[in-house]
Structure 1
């Protein structure tokens, strides 16, 4: 026994002598080491907006650890993931942290950003609604439009529960994300909590925004494709136009509604995680999508992507667009559509 005890003491002493030295990793401020364009290329947000967002999130340090991550680093880890869509291991290697730490930061900060959706994803009211109608009318002459509506696939990894509901017609797993966009590529509504198997019309029918239109809280038209039902506040194209007026109506609607496809393109090109595959559970993927939409709108408001002050909306003639009793909710969608065709597209 004494020989064994002596042997163990020798092992412990050898371990003490060969203790691995502590590694103090670089925690410098990347915003100070790179130019503005370099920061935007890597994080898809400009430095001034990153600092502004950091003040809104009010992130805290993990004080239980000796080498806790500063709030700025937590945010940059999250932005790096959204901008590249890379695995947590690659994001961690790029910023010199472990994969598990990167995953925790990505999930926690995504939830914080998604909680800002009420402040940055809002449907236009009052002057904003009037401005939206003017901007949409200047595109192709379609009257009284307050938004363009459409859906897109966001690819996710194979879920463990209800896997068949998420397989789309292209053979991969995805969420069916429905967005409504403003005339300046700003997203005014985001519904990302449905799998692909749910049809666009059902997502619209069960949404809070649809109920608000039915109750008369919002006025104006939403433009959708033929996957949506034609209602008194949702206008869709005619499948078989037979007159010149109907063809002009379809052309104006399609030229106006192309804005939603352009918005999808801008959003997915800016945040590659939406263009490739979200390696996350459906619940976390929903938070990631909402976080991307919040950052998209924040970037537009602060001029990171589009400077609306340099391209103001030109004034439109004083035309009375409220030609349909929208507040009653009793008018059939096809009747509203034919009334618009006769009034605005028959000349």
Structure 2
């Protein structure tokens, strides 16, 4: 019964009162059920949210290569806003650049719309580049634990392991590089769309504190990955909010020199 109550909340995002009426339990009981089940699901996140290594990394690169010919890709990274009610503490920190309260959730997806990394602890006002810089996955790439690239939008700085598009492509090779990167990177936006349509609570407003909201987000991602592994793939159209994430106010310009050199090398070698 607790599991069904929690799944009803994830699938609809309805008020606890309404869910309680449908199960003939109290509003407080619904809240306790949702928290207990979500915490249990998050407790096994490492079994279902795992960045590819070894033979899985090789398979992931081959799957990405088939999409648009971009070589050596391990995943696509982006952030998405998850609406929450204004918290009682540090309320201003959670107001994002679009003017509403949210978490800024960074995720990495593979070529099958499965999420391989999730960071859901940051307020909505924090820029994508900082979320990435402070993440455990960034440290792993900096330490050379992964051999491959992530693809990001212009909200991320270009690094030797993180490829972003040219803001002003000057050659045909750079234009083909951009086209291949964007056709591949759109998978993360499609993955967000699948996730939010499957779990409507992530499209609505999570009426809880930021820590509990983050737990709900991660629990939904675990269930999403289980669905992907079982072959349950929903329509993969982009979510409207995520499709507009690559706007001018979202761009940064502090690319590392080694990242720019690596980007030029890929453009000239593979797309020249």
Please report the RMSD computed on the Cα atoms of aligned residues, expressed in angstroms. 1.2
- What do the CA deviations read for 1:94-125 (whole angstroms, capped 9, x no partner)? 11111111111111111111111111100001
Q: What's the CA shift for 1:216?
A: 1.2
Which range moves more in the overlay, 173-182 or 94-103?
94-103
Equivalent residue for 1:224, pick from 143, 148, 152: 152
Q: Show the counterpart of 2:118.
A: 190
Q: Show the counterpart of 1:95.
A: 23
Aligned pair count reads 251
User: Is 1:178–2:110 an aligned residue pair?
Assistant: no
Q: Secondary structure at the match of 2:106?
A: strand
Equivalent residue for 1:343, pick from 254, 269, 272: 269
Q: Determine the C-alpha separation between the residues in 2 that align with 1:256 and 1:123.
A: 18
- What do the CA deviations read for 1:250-304 (whole angstroms, capped 9, x no partner)? 0000000000010000000000000111111001000000000000001111223
Q: What's the CA shift for 1:126?
A: 1.2
Q: Show the counterpart of 2:227.
A: 299
Q: Determine the C-alpha separation between the residues in 2 that align with 1:130 and 1:145.
A: 9
Q: Determine the C-alpha separation between the residues in 1 that align with 2:89 and 2:119.
A: 21
Q: What's the CA shift for 1:331?
A: 7.8
Q: Show the counterpart of 2:77.
A: 149
Q: Determine the C-alpha separation between the residues in 2 that align with 1:153 and 1:212.
A: 25
Residues 100-119 of structure 1 mapped to structure 2, 5 A cutoff = 100-119=28-47
Equivalent residue for 2:194, pick from 263, 266, 272: 266
Q: Show the counterpart of 1:327.
A: none
- What do the CA deviations read for 1:32-71 (whole angstroms, capped 9, x no partner)? xxxxxxxxxxxxxxxxxxxxxxxxxxxxxxxxxxxxxxxx
Q: Determine the C-alpha separation between the residues in 2 that align with 1:202 and 1:194.
A: 10
What TM-score, normalized to structure 1? 0.71
Larger Rg belongs to: 1
User: Is 1:289–2:214 an aligned residue pair?
Assistant: no
Gaps of 5+ in 1: 1-72, 307-329
What TM-score, normalized to structure 2? 0.90
User: Is 1:139–2:67 an aligned residue pair?
Assistant: yes
Contact kept, 8 Å, 2:161 with 2:259, in 1: the verdict is yes
Report 1 or 2 for greater relative contact order, CA contacts < 8 Å, sequence distance ≥ 6. 2
Equivalent residue for 1:334, pick from 243, 248, 260: 260
Q: Show the counterpart of 1:162.
A: 90
Q: Secondary structure at the match of 2:154?
A: coil
